[in-house]
Amino acid sequence: MTTVRGADTRGLAHCETTALNVLLRHEGLELSEPMLFGLGSGLSFVYWDARNMDFPFLGGRVKPFELTRNLAARLGLELDVRETASPRRAWENMTAPLDAGRPVGLQLDSYHLEYFTTRVRFGGHVVAVYGYDDRTAYLVDTAQQGGAVTTGLASLAEARAARGPMTARHRSFTLTVPGDAPAPRDRIVPAVTACADAFLHPPIANLGHRGIEKAGRLVRTWHRRTDDPGRDLRRAALLMERGGTGGALFRNLYRDFLAECAGLLESRRLRTGLALYTEAAELWTRTAELIDEAGATGDERCLERAGALLADLARVEREAMEALSRLDEDLPAGAG
DSSP 3-state of 334: coil
DSSP 3-state of 287: helix
Cα gap 6→1, rounded to integer Å? 15
Question: Residue-wise pLDDT tens for the chain (336 aa)?
Answer: 999 999 999 999 999 999 999 999 999 999 999 999 999 999 999 999 987 788 999 999 999 999 999 999 999 999 999 999 999 999 999 999 999 999 999 999 999 999 998 888 899 999 999 999 999 999 999 999 999 999 999 999 999 999 988 999 999 999 999 999 899 999 999 999 999 999 999 999 999 999 999 999 999 999 999 999 999 999 999 999 999 999 999 999 999 999 999 999 999 999 999 999 999 999 999 999 999 999 999 999 999 999 999 999 999 999 999 999 999 988 765 455
Phi, psi of 77 (to 5 degrees): -80, 150
Domain ranges of the chain: 2-30+78-176, 184-330
Question: What DSSP assignment string belongs to 150-217?
Answer: EEEHHHHHHHHH--STT--SS-EEEEE--TTPPPGGGGHHHHHHHHHHHHHS-SSTTBHHHHHHHHHH
The conformation of residue 113, written as its DSSP 8-state character, comes to -
In CATH, 2-30+78-176 is 3.90.70.10:
yes
Q: What element of type H or E holds 308? A: helix 301-324
DSSP 3-state of 321: helix
